[in-house]
Amino acid sequence: MNVQEIVKRCQALFEDLEFNAVQQWKAAVPGRKAIGYMPIYVPREIVHAAGMLPVGIFGGGDQMEVIQGDAYYQSYICRIPRSTIELGLTGKLNCLDGMLFPSICDVIRNLSGMWQIMFKDKYVKYFDLPQNYDDATGGEFYVHEMQTVRDDLAKLGGREITDDDLRRSIAVYNDNRKAVRELYAYRAQKPWQAPTSEVYLVLRAGCVLPPEEHTALVRSYVRETDAVKRPVRDNARVVLTGSFCEQPPLGLIKSIEMAGCYVVDDDFQLCQSMLLDDVPTTGDPLEELSKAFLHRSAQTSSKYDETKAEKGTHLLRQVKTRGAEGVIFAAASFCDPALLERPMLLEILGKHKIPYTAFKYAENTGQMAPIREQTGTFADSIKLWSAA
């Protein structure tokens, strides 16, 4: 496939709210099972080691009209739980045999309880990630939490999940994370060759494809896009942050780029890049997954920072290593984790004299003009300051 064909395929997967790719994967071998997971992060290795397909669920986006889902929630919360409920109630998630709800925020925790009541025939687990990073405390808790999922999925799948199964799956996801890191590095180096509106679709494909297939897709995208030279623009290089859960509509990402910004780093699909380096494939696999999360994972708003000095260090590193000239805070409306952390991050950027702008969106935001004007003005101001 050439680059247009790759992007077209990824866009089709992104728009398919019937999850046909998952249905086809299951139909290929009778008895296969698929397990959904919500943002931000779950150790997909355990699902994969059970012979099941992990499926990333990011709500209904801007293609789905939420009718029943609104009745389940008050008006002053974000949209992703409503559209996820809508996906469930309209049967679009029937292909899933279970759901994992990681501990991002109260909204997702409550959604996990509702899911247990509404979909009694499915496996549902609220997956509590540790907020203490001592191996003997948070680590032990986290290993226990992973072991529970391992036991549950072994029961669901009717077979034991061995340590070697887990090690093989860790190796598969190490390779996937490596490919994603390569894609991010390529985009930072040549953002005109890998627009974020395309990179986003390539990464979203990883929500529904088996990891082995997704890894090959990511690498073929980098290879194919590099083969077709595209015009270089005098855009401002920015890090986009705060979009780790409810995703902005694709049109919003395109608007930011059309307004004169190259997004050189982001936190859209954190599950694929949360662990910052390889997980060892020797030793106890759950302990190694635990250590990777506790000590070598990306900072994000739903993770506790043990000291004030740590706050914002990941964002500052993104700015520095990607050669960014500014930061765009783009968070879902009513997203408590992102919006409560924002003032602290703004203060840190201010201290480091890094320009920033901030706005909110919903996954079905339709009015792009104000955001385009705001980011366009931001990009222009960066260029003026750079030239000064």
| Distance of alpha carbon 175 from alpha carbon 310, whole angstroms | 28
Strands (DSSP E) contained in the chain are: 34-37, 53-56, 98-102, 123-127, 236-241, 261-265, 326-332, 356-361
In the bound state with ligand SF4, the residue whose beta carbon lies nearer, of 64 and 80, is 80
Count of residues near ligand SF4 by CB under 6 A: 14
In the bound state with ligand SF4, the residue whose beta carbon lies nearer, of 195 and 337, is 337
Instruction: Count CB atoms within 10 A of the CB of residue 96.
Output: 24
In the bound state with ligand SF4, the residue whose beta carbon lies nearer, of 208 and 332, is 332
Backbone angles phi, psi at 102, to 5 degrees: -70, 160
Q: Does 78 bind ligand SF4 (CB under 6 A)?
A: yes
Least separation in angstroms between residue 192's CB and ligand SF4 is: 31
Least separation in angstroms between residue 244's CB and ligand SF4 is: 7
Query: Of 122, 337, 365, 371, which one interacts with ligand SF4 (CB under 6 A)?
Result: 337
Closest CA to 156 of 44, 51, 28: 51
Least separation in angstroms between residue 245's CB and ligand SF4 is: 3
Site string for ligand SF4, 36-75 (x = CB under 6 A): ----------------------------------------
SS (H, E, C) 200-215: HHHHHHHHCCCHHHHH
Least separation in angstroms between residue 75's CB and ligand SF4 is: 14
Query: Of 104, 188, 252, 286, which one interacts with ligand SF4 (CB under 6 A)?
Result: 104
Q: Applying CB under 6 A, which part among 42-50, 77-85, 148-156, 192-200 lies near ligand SF4?
A: 77-85
Distance of CA 178 to the CA centre of its chain: 16
Q: DSSP letter for 138, please.
A: I
Residue 239 DSSP SS3: strand
Dihedral angle over CA of 363, 367, 368, 369, nearest 10: -160
Query: Of 49, 335, 371, 379, which one interacts with ligand SF4 (CB under 6 A)?
Result: 335
* Residues 25 and 32 sit within 8 Å (Cβ to Cβ): yes
Q: Applying CB under 6 A, which part among 103-111, 135-143, 163-171, 212-220 lies near ligand SF4?
A: 103-111
Least separation in angstroms between residue 322's CB and ligand SF4 is: 24
Site for ligand SF4 in 210-269 (CB under 6 A): 245-246
Closest CA to 332 of 245, 258, 266: 245
Strands (DSSP E) contained in 129-258 are: 236-241
In the bound state with ligand SF4, the residue whose beta carbon lies nearer, of 39 and 157, is 39
* Residues 138 and 132 sit within 8 Å (Cβ to Cβ): yes
In the bound state with ligand SF4, the residue whose beta carbon lies nearer, of 285 and 337, is 337
Residue with the closest Cβ to ligand SF4?
Answer: 245
In the bound state with ligand SF4, the residue whose beta carbon lies nearer, of 38 and 259, is 38
Q: What are the residues whose beta carbons fall under 8 Å from the beta carbon of 20, sequence distance 6 or more? A: none
| Distance of alpha carbon 355 from alpha carbon 183, whole angstroms | 25
Q: What are the residues whose beta carbons fall under 8 Å from the beta carbon of 383, sequence distance 6 or more? A: 234, 236, 260
* Residues 256 and 248 sit within 8 Å (Cβ to Cβ): no
Query: Of 95, 332, 362, 382, which one interacts with ligand SF4 (CB under 6 A)?
Result: 332
* Residues 85 and 238 sit within 8 Å (Cβ to Cβ): no
In the bound state with ligand SF4, the residue whose beta carbon lies nearer, of 245 and 354, is 245
Least separation in angstroms between residue 176's CB and ligand SF4 is: 23
Least separation in angstroms between residue 39's CB and ligand SF4 is: 6
Query: Of 46, 64, 80, 209, which one interacts with ligand SF4 (CB under 6 A)?
Result: 80
Site string for ligand SF4, 169-188 (x = CB under 6 A): --------------------
Residue 262 DSSP SS3: strand
Which residues are at the interface with ligand SF4 (CB under 6 A)? 78, 80-81, 104-105, 107-108, 245-246, 332, 335-338
